[in-house]
């Protein structure tokens, strides 16, 4: 618990306008997208890296907990101050693009920069930052790096980690470190930037990030395949990805999801279909895009696709994407409580994975609509129940445990993009051995011996 003496000290660092402990701010910074609530003792907006350093140094000496926070759009509670303490926010001052280096094709940014602001700025000069989480309009680069966020374009372009070249960060004792360089190659020393990616604010506070940019492709085309069964669609996914072309996106909706979108939005979707695949291809030449689509159509058709629709213009492309973009909201027709996981497996076992999920749904007589980024093996698995019925909620958590076990058994991971935070911390022991967990804990201890930085997250305590 922090007191007046601490507040006075923090005020001397950042000024009175950048520290808040009034009720309205404490409530506003007590949530993330999990909708779980933990109030901090204060919210501080550092103006620069030196402020972060002075704050952390003082907190380390006084054993005050610090929780870094981006936009609070995380799905696993990573930014929640579950042990109280201080929330550190970057949206007020540390939200800028510091440099776009056209010659080396990199951007240097502050952690509070909104993903979409970066995308717009680099596209205006002909460059491209591909990671596009669905939260891109508000989530921050600091949060994206800390969760290793992915998006619809990950099938071709990869995820946040594929673009982080270097980071500046502040350690819990206040030391400032620079990890990585503006170079394509750098094999000198341990890859500290690599350790900070997806570390969920538990090791250091990111103060500056250097990101790789690529040339912006000139054009994109969209298509949709209609499949009789989920199994046929999943076979088509991994066979397409291994067929010699790489679509930008290869997104999936199952029958329950298609029906939900249709029920809510009446878009004329094929509600008898077992599954839909939505795909984008991009490039610089029309012929190349047509070649890629022809290849996808060939593999889809060989795997039972009954209809392959190519969008002829932007409106038709938006119509095709509508169902996928609105799936998450629509499936709430199946229950007031949604436990949404983002398990990920090697693509070739997707057919088996989905089969196991539907067997779990049958066993517990519940709905588990699935959709997601199947081009990178990532399935959003949504266990839907009546949140007011404690028995149903209990069943839902049993089902989730089996979803995780099935994923692990098939060589998959608990999380492809949302991280562990608080929500998945209890399941870490299913996925990692004691020896592996001990190694994680020793890394945490090396960075943060007093456990002041985002404690109780990732199953490390």
Chain residues in the site for ligand FAD (CB under 6 A):
32-33, 67-75, 78-79, 90, 111, 133-135, 139-140, 142-144, 146-147, 149-151, 200-201, 205-206, 417-418, 454
Task: State in angstroms the smallest separation of the CB of 88 from ligand FAD.
Answer: 7
Task: Kindly tell me which of 151 and 335 has the beta carbon lying closer to ligand FAD.
Answer: 151
Q: How far apart are CA 367 and CA 396, in angstroms?
A: 10
Decide whether 208 or 254 has the Cβ nearer to ligand FAD: 208
Q: How many whole angstroms separate alpha carbon 37 and alpha carbon 27?
A: 8
Give whichever of 145 and 258 is closer to ligand FAD, judged by the CB atom: 145
Supply the minimum distance, in Å, between the C-beta of residue 130 and ligand FAD: 13
Q: Which CB atom, from 81 or from 225, has the smaller least distance to ligand FAD?
A: 81
CA dist 280 and 153 (Å) reads: 9
Residue number with CB closer to ligand FAD (198 or 311): 198
Q: Where are the beta strands (DSSP E) in 391-431?
A: none
The nearest distance, CB 312 to ligand FAD, in angstroms, is 27
The CA radius of gyration of the chain, in Å to the nearest whole number, is 23
What is the dihedral sign for C-alpha 119, 192, 55, 34?
positive
CB of 40 to ligand FAD, least distance (A): 12
Tokens describing residue 290: 């047509």
* CA-wise closest residue to 416 among 362, 346, 338: 346
In the complex with ligand FAD, the residue whose CB is nearer, 6 or 418, is 418
* Residue 373 Rama label (left phi>0; alpha psi -120 to 50; beta): beta
Q: Which is nearer to ligand FAD, 105 or 134 (CB)?
A: 134
CB of 373 to ligand FAD, least distance (A): 8
DSSP secondary structure letter of residue 293: H
Q: The tokens of 160 are what?
A: 């946040």
By C-beta, is 279 or 454 nearer to ligand FAD? 454
CB of 22 to ligand FAD, least distance (A): 21
Coil/strand/helix, residue 277: strand
Q: How far is the CB of 325 from ligand FAD (least distance, A)?
A: 10
Map 235-260 to HEC letters. HHHHHHHCCCCCCCEEEEEEHHHHHH
Minimum Å gap between C-beta 280 and ligand FAD is: 15
Q: How far apart are CA 47 and CA 53, in angstroms?
A: 11
Instruction: Give me the helix-helix angle, 255-265 and 314-325, nearest 10°.
Output: 110
Q: How far is CA 358 from CA 190, 263, 310, 346, 365, in A?
A: 43, 21, 30, 19, 10
């Amino acid at each position: 618990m922090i007191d007046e003496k601490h507040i006075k000290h923090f005020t001397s660092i950042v000024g009175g306008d950048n520290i808040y402990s009034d009720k309205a701010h404490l409530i506003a910074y007590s949530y993330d997208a999990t909708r779980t609530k933990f109030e901090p003792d204060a919210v501080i907006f550092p103006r620069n890296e030196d402020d972060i350093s002075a704050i952390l140094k003082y907190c380390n000496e006084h054993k005050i907990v610090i929780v870094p926070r981006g936009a609070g759009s995380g799905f696993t509670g990573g930014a929640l101050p579950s042990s109280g303490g201080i929330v550190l926010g970057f949206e007020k001052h540390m939200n800028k693009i510091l440099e776009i280096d056209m010659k080396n094709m990199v951007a240097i940014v502050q952690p509070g920069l909104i993903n979409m602001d970066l995308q717009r700025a680099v596209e205006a000069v002909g460059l491209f930052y591909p990671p596009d989480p669905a939260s891109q309009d508000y989530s921050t680069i600091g949060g994206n790096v800390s969760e290793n966020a992915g998006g619809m374009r990950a099938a071709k372009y990869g995820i946040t980690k594929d673009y982080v070249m270097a980071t500046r960060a502040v350690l819990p004792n206040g030391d400032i470190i620079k990890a990585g360089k503006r170079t394509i190659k750098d094999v000198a020393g341990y890859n500290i930037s690599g350790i900070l990616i997806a570390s969920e604010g538990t090791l250091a506070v990111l103060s500056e990030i250097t990101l790789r940019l690529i040339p912006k492709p000139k054009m994109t085309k969209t298509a949709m395949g209609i499949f009789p069964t989920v199994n046929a669609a999943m076979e088509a996914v991994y066979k397409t990805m291994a067929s010699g072309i790489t679509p930008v996106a290869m997104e999936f909706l199952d029958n329950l999801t298609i029906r939900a979108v249709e029920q809510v939005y009446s878009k004329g979707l094929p509600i008898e279909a077992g599954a839909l695949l939505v795909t984008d291809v991009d490039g610089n030449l029309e012929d190349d895009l047509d070649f890629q689509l022809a290849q996808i159509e060939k593999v889809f058709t060989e795997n039972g696709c009954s209809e392959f629709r190519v969008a002829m213009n932007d409106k038709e492309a938006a119509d095709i994407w509508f169902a996928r973009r609105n799936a998450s909201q629509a499936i709430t027709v199946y229950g007031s409580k949604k436990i949404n996981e983002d398990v990920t497996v090697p693509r070739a076992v997707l057919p088996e994975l989905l089969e196991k999920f539907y067997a779990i749904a049958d066993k517990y007589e519940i709905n588990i609509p699935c959709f997601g980024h199947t081009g990178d093996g990532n399935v959003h698995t949504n266990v839907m129940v009546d949140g007011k019925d404690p028995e149903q909620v209990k069943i839902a958590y049993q089902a989730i445990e089996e979803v995780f076990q099935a994923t692990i058994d098939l060589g998959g991971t608990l999380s492809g993009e949302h991280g562990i935070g608080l929500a998945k911390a209890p399941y870490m022991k299913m996925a990692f051995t004691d020896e592996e967990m001990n190694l994680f804990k020793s890394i945490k201890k090396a960075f943060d011996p007093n456990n002041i930085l985002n404690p109780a997250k990732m199953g490390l305590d």
